[in-house]
Structures are given as C-alpha cells and as structure tokens.
A and B are shown apart, each in its own frame.
Chain A
C-alpha cells in the first residue's frame, strides 16, 4: 500500500486561464494551486510551459476528471501512464479524482456519473483504486461528487461507501463541501450525518464552490460564490478535520482574481477560529 500523503495546511485556488497572468507575473497570496490534470496531459506547447513556470512558484495539486474510478471494466492504462508522466514531472502536493465513472464499452461521457452504492460497485472501485495507486506509486485522493440520481438497490449510504473504500484501499479523501450540500439537498439526506460518517482522518483536501438552482435540483455549477449554507457546513466540517488544504473552485463566470482571494480569506478566517 503506498505511503500516506503528508498533511498540508494551507489555502489555495484552482488555476484557470483567466488568471495565468496574475500567477506568473505577480505574487498571489495562496499556499498552493490546483490544476485540472487532463488540461496538461498533452505532448507539449504552452500549457506544459505555463505549468512548469507555475510549479516553480507554488505547490501544485493535480485534480483529474477522467480516471473513471467507478468503471466496471477496469481503468484505461494509456490514461494512467500519461497521468504518471505528468505526476513525475510536477511532483504534486496531491493527485486526486472523483468517486464517479465516465467510461463504458469504449464510450466516454466526459461527465462525473454516479456510482451505485452497492457491494459489487465497492469491490470494483477498490480494485480500480489499487490499480491506479500501483501504477502511479502514490496514495490518491478521491472526491465525493455532486449527484442528481440515486439508484435502487443501494446497500449503504454514500459516506459508508466512501469510508469502506478508504479503509480497503488506503486512499485518502478530498471533501467537497459544496457537493455534500448539493447531494444532501437533492437526495434528502442530512449533510451533517455525511460529515459525521466520513473518516475525517483520511481527508487531506477540501473544495469550496458555488452551485445553482435547477428544476427541482441543485446543480454543481461552479459559477457563483460559495453560499452561506456551504460556509456553515465548512465551519462545521473543519472542527472534525486535521490540517487540510482548502481551496475555492470556480470554473464558469470566472471573476477577477481579487474576488476569489476575498472568498479565500473567508475560509482562512473560519479556519483560524476552529
């Protein structure tokens, strides 16, 4: 089993194109940045060049969206080897992906599709995590996704599934507080029960983000500031966690960097109070 990731206590932002200039030309008050792994799993050119420059200035966490850890047919070795090449070059703080699937029978949905919380799915997810950790040679973090659909026949809750997954594989966790809020609202479970049920000692990173209101469902849209309900949930969550890397995620309607740094300052304030 790979060695556990050391705890990292700090506050960061997701690196987006709109802010490349800020991060390369000024000293941004963050402790780390997170990048979407797949955006940099390319042969060469400007993306890799920018990442190398950013890495010289800040610790970098790699966050993926395409590992498809819940896929029934095993992982894509080409994907894993390309990710390993990036990991070897970047020497990241953390490598993470989502508890979801996107690939089936040669089809790739390019979305974070829900995993049924069954014993069969747990066994498959754990086998895939073992494979990924073996290939990458490190302990991975997996994020709880937002979901809009619950499958009949589930034999455990989401947090029980995540706890069992972490126990069997030694993987660590990326707690997305907004996703807990969104899924709790969409499925009618108690967000606090989720937090209480999670193996807190395995959490290494926290995501904060905004969501939007869809037709009867909350949508994890990352296009707005973190709402008061998510801040309250975050304040509760960090009382249970050890030192963690906390960051704001924004992927749409991206504001000037100063606005995101202002939001990050709120997280710092709450973190200092715990």
Chain B
C-alpha cells in the first residue's frame, strides 16, 4: 500500500470504522480506536461549542443524536474547523423537518459565529454624508452582516437562553419577519426586524443603490411615505453601524 492508499484507507476507518479498513491498517484496535475517538470527539465538541443555546433547547440527547447524524453524513473538508458548523443547518432541517424554531436557532448561532470573525470595517461617520449625491449613492454594508427570514419566535427563545432565563415556548409569528446579525466593534449583535426592513436591507445588499431602495419603497408605500421610510431606515442603519462605506455609481 503506497502513501496515498494508506491515507485513503485511514480516512475510511475514521469515517466508517469498517472492519475492512481496520484490517488493511494492521488491525491494531487499541491504536485505531484512539484516532476514531479523537476524530468524533473533536467534531462533536466543535458543534457543541458552535451551538450552545441550540444544544440547551434540544436537550443533550437530541443534540448529540443530530450531531452524530451530521458527522456520519458530512465528513469535514475545510482546513479550518470553523467551517464545519455551517453545514449543520441542513442536517437539522432533515432531522427536525417540522421544527422551524430549531432551524432558526441554528441559523442565529451560526451567523453569530461568522460575524464574530468577519472582516473588520469602520462604520460610516455622519461627516461622510455631507454633500452626498443621494441619486447616485451606493451604500456598502458591514461585511459581518447576515440576513435571514424569520417565521418563529426564535429570537426571543435564543435571547432567553443566552440570558439564562426561562425560554418561551416556540410559536409561529403572526407575520413573517427577519433576523439581522452583525458585529459592532468586537461584539456580535442580533436583531429581529419586520419583513419590509429585511427586504429593504436585502435590496441594499444586492446593489447598494440608495435611489433603488427609495424607488422600491415608493412603489410599496407611495411617494411621500416611501421616501420618509427610506430616510428612517438609513438613520437606523447608520446608528447601528451597519453601513461602512459609500461611493457613487
């Protein structure tokens, strides 16, 4: 067996723990078991660390079962373990198909982890807006910003778990909304918004055009209300340090 074949066989041992791969590696069960245990314990630990509040919400047993399912289905590929939790969301959708609260809690924790190490960017200062031509202004949002649709009270559940107070029961929202996750300086933030603000931000994420945002809001709300709403969103996003740059088309 050459080096490449040996490493492929070792990979098969770690992923499947098959007798055939163990035999090819010399059948040293004690040694092989150490590597098998290290591999699985490392990945379980990675998921536990990435989803602490989801783990509490699901309970130890259910979280571990979902983790094992994920590890069996999706061996890691990236050089960094930070990438491994990203795929857990899809596994949870399969394992808990009727629990959007679980999916949305997983999205929250995954987005918070990503935002924590996203690229640095200084928030836009009010001085940068002086004399700006709003018709051609292109807004640049924080590289840490993540947006997602929200159908349940997952934000309230996550916040209660994070504060270590009794969490409310999971319920569907009367109206779908949205979730924003981003980082202010070195602290990750989570905010629930209504569906309109979520779509407005997604418009800006797509092309950055402030004029385009105004046009979209005017179509929805009418001339006066649309422009006022655009101004209010802009002020709120600036205050929250969501906007980090502006340029012109």
Query: In the assembly, what is the distance between CA of A103 and CA of B143, in Å?
Result: 30
| Contacting residues of chain A (95-115) with chain B, CB-CB under 8 angstroms | 101, 103-111, 113
Q: Count of A-B contacts with CB under 8 A?
A: 115
Q: Are A66 and B8 in contact (CB under 8 A)?
A: no
Return the chain B residue nearest A83 by Cβ.
Answer: B79
Given contacts A105-B8, A109-B14, A148-B31, contact A121 B3 (CB under 8 A): yes
Interface residues of B, dominant DSSP: helix
Q: Are B7 and A43 in contact (CB under 8 A)?
A: no
Taking a contact as CB atoms closer than 8 A, the residue among B3, B75, B79, B81 that contacts A120 in the complex is B3
Q: Are B79 and A106 in contact (CB under 8 A)?
A: no
Return the chain B residue nearest A120 by Cβ.
Answer: B3
Return the chain B residue nearest A73 by Cβ.
Answer: B4
Contact with B along A202-243 (1 / 0, CB 8 A): 000000000000111101000000000000000000000000
Q: Are B11 and A107 in contact (CB under 8 A)?
A: yes
Binds B, one of A44-52, A170-178, A188-196: A44-52
Q: Name the residue in A44, A68, A124, A217 with the highest tally of chain B Cβ atoms < 10 Å from its Cβ.
A: A44
Given contacts A43-B119, A116-B3, contact A149 B186 (CB under 8 A): no
A245 CB to nearest B CB, Å? 26
In the complex, chain A residues whose CB is within 8 Å of the CB of B76:
107-110
Taking a contact as CB atoms closer than 8 A, the residue among A108, A147, A151 that contacts B78 in the complex is A108
A117 CB to nearest B CB, Å? 11
Asked whether A72 is an interface residue with its Cβ less than 8 Å from the other chain, the reply is yes
Q: Are B34 and A113 in contact (CB under 8 A)?
A: no
Taking a contact as CB atoms closer than 8 A, the residue among B26, B43, B115, B117 that contacts A47 in the complex is B117
Asked whether A246 is an interface residue with its Cβ less than 8 Å from the other chain, the reply is no
Return the chain A residue nearest B2 by Cβ.
Answer: A120
| Contacting residues of chain A (127-163) with chain B, CB-CB under 8 angstroms | 147-152
Asked whether B246 is an interface residue with its Cβ less than 8 Å from the other chain, the reply is no
**Between-chain CB contacts (< 8 Å), 7 pairs:** A44-B118, A103-B79, A107-B76, A109-B10, A111-B38, A148-B35, A216-B30
Can you add 9 more A-B contacts, CB < 8 Å, to A101-B7, A104-B4, A104-B8?
Answer: A38-B81, A42-B117, A45-B116, A71-B7, A108-B78, A110-B46, A110-B76, A148-B35, A151-B26
